[in-house]
Amino acid sequence: MGVVKHRLFWPIAALLTLVVVNTLSRPQFIKVTVRDGQLYGALIDILRNSAPLMLVALGMTIVIATRGIDLSVGAVMAVSGAVALTIIHDSGNPDNLGTVVSAVVVALLVALVLGSWNGMLIAVLGIQPIIATLVLMLAGRGVALLITEGFITTVNSGPFEYIATGYLLILPFAFLISLTAILLIGAFERRTALGMLTEAVGINPEASRLAGVRSRGIIFSVYVVSGLMAGIAGIIYSSNIRAADANAAGLFIELYAILAVVLGGTSLQGGKFSIAGTVIGVLIIQTLNSTILFLGVPSAQSPVFFALVVVLVVIVQSPRVRQLGRRPRGATGSDGTADKPAKAEVGA
């Protein structure tokens, strides 16, 4: 019974179910082939295609842990792609590795600045995260459109394409990027005290401040990280389509990222979070996407399936379902007064 109660049980079970169902309907689903020292297969595609969402969701996880939210990630993706591609395009030298590297660096710096902007509004000025990041979400896409002057800038650049389509040591490069991010963030949060302090800040920012925790610093930095992750995701996305599409880049990605975080067991109320949970959540979403495409459903209609997934997950996680058979309502700690959690930033 301890296994069933474990936080990650349902997410892992859901993922495994999806994999099994897929394999039963198309056995080649789990087949992985090696060609020219590179791995191919449906599973590998999932790992590769999940990179942008994985990066954004990782950043979103720690933002949500501080009881915040970052709606601007899609817009930051668009800006990052726009910046990088414009630099490459205008350089006249798109195949030059140096050009590509500097374009990527500049784009990531811009993403860091945008993340810091959010961090400043929220940690320093005390603005509600949903509004602060909504501002950038609206304005950011406009900025991206201005950078690309309304067009979809395309480039033909070997080094740049490598990011999304290339391989390094048998695995897709994009996947390795997201794997590195997972390991780095996981290490930072759990091997240092950063994880617990972040959770404390999310659960009770004022108590944390009085306890000597650098609340402001932590809140600021999670938005910077989220911005950076979105920046990298934007690079991968534009590398994939070899273009900067300011309107389509990262469209709805914040919603899928939040969904992944919630699927993984982290609560939108903030506090305790799980990197592993988010990773599984992202894989669930990506696998589901792959399943839907395989079924021949037009991708535009796929949101219906995601709606069902969301509903299923939240119903299973719902306290009402968990408490089957407990009669007294509202029983809480022995002080007697029911502790209602403070309203979550996202408008709970």
Partner 1 sequence: MTTTETTETTRSSPKQADDRFINRHASLMPTFAALGVLVVLLVAAQLYFGDFVSPGNMSALLLDNAYLMVIAVGMTFVILTAGIDLSVGSVMAFTGILLASLLGRGMPAAVAVPVILLAGAVIGLLIGILVQYFDVQPFIASLAGLFLARGLAFVVSLKSIRVDDPSVLWLQSTRFQVGDWYITPTGIIALLAVGIGAFVLQYTRFGRTVYAIGGNEQSARLMGLKVARTKVFVYLVSGSLAGLAGLILTAYSGAGYPRNGIGTELDAIAAVVIGGTLLSGGRGYVLGSMIGVLVYGTIKTVISFLGAEQAWMQIIVGGLLLLFILIQRFIVSRSERRE
Partner 2 sequence: MSNHGASPPGSSIVEMRGITISFPGVLALDNVDFSLRSGEIHALMGENGAGKSTLIKALTGVYAIDSGEIAVAGRPVVFHTTADAQVAGISTVYQEVNLCPNLSVGENVMLGHEPHRGGRIDWKGVHEQAAEHLRSLGVQIDTRTMLSSHSLAIQQLVAISRAMVLESRVLILDEPTSSLDRGEVEQLFAVIRELRTAGVAILFVSHFLEQVYEISDRVTVLRNGQLVGEYLIEDLPRHDLVTKMIGRVLDDLEAISEASNREVDRSGVPVLKATEVGRRGVLEPADLEVFQGEVVGLAGLLGSGRTELARLLYGADRADTGSISINGEPVRIGTPRHAIEQRIVFSSEDRRGEGIVSDLTVAENIVLGIQARRGWRHKIRKAERDAVVAEYMEALDVRPANPDSVVGTLSGGNQQKVLLARWLATAPELLILDEPTRGIDVGAKADIQRKVAELSAAGLSVIFISSELEEVLRLAQRVVVMRDRREIGQLDSNRVGLNDLIEYIANTSDGSAA
Catalog residues that contact partner 1 under the rule CB under 8 A: 121, 125-128, 130-132, 134-146, 150, 246, 251, 255, 258-259, 262, 268-269, 298, 300-307, 310-311, 314-315, 318-321, 338, 340, 343-344, 346-348
CA 338 to each of CA 126, 323, 335, 341: distance values in angstroms, whole numbers, following the listed order:
28, 17, 8, 9
SS3 (DSSP) at 154: strand
**Out of 55, 200, 219, 280, the residue judged to bind partner 2 by CB under 8 A:** 200
Give dist(CA 56, CA 153) in Å, integer: 23
Least gap, CB of 139 to partner 2 (angstroms): 31
Residue 91 or 128: which CB sits closer to partner 1?
128
Total of residues contacting partner 2 (CB under 8 A): 34
Closest CA to 73 of 49, 47, 48, 55: 55
Longest dimension (CA), the chain: 72
SS3 (DSSP) at 95: coil
Q: Quick check: 208 binds partner 2 (CB under 8 A)? A: yes
| Torsion, Cα of 74, 79, 80, 81 (10° steps) | 90
Strand partners, 170: 38
Q: Quick check: 299 binds partner 2 (CB under 8 A)? A: no
Q: Quick check: 333 binds partner 2 (CB under 8 A)? A: yes
**Out of 21, 146, 211, 308, the residue judged to bind partner 2 by CB under 8 A:** 211
Could you identify the residue written with the tokens 């792609």? 81
x/- map, 265-294, partner 2, by CB under 8 A? ------xx----------------------
**Out of 109, 112, 152, 194, the residue judged to bind partner 2 by CB under 8 A:** 194
- How far from the centroid of its chain's Cα atoms is residue 60's Cα? 5
Give dist(CA 27, CA 98) in Å, integer: 43
- How far from the centroid of its chain's Cα atoms is residue 134's Cα? 17
Question: For residues 292 and 344, is the Cβ–Cβ distance under 8 A?
Answer: no
Residue 296 or 328: which CB sits closer to partner 2?
328
Q: Quick check: 50 binds partner 2 (CB under 8 A)? A: no
Give dist(CA 204, CA 211) in Å, integer: 11
> Which one of 166-174, 207-215, 256-264, 309-317 is the stretch in contact with partner 2 (CB under 8 A)?
207-215
Residue 211 or 297: which CB sits closer to partner 2?
211
> Which entry of partner 1, partner 2, none binds 204, CB below 5 to 8 A by partner kind?
partner 2
Instruction: Tell me which residues touch partner 2 (CB under 8 A).
Output: 191-194, 196-197, 199-200, 203-204, 206-214, 218, 271-272, 327-337, 339
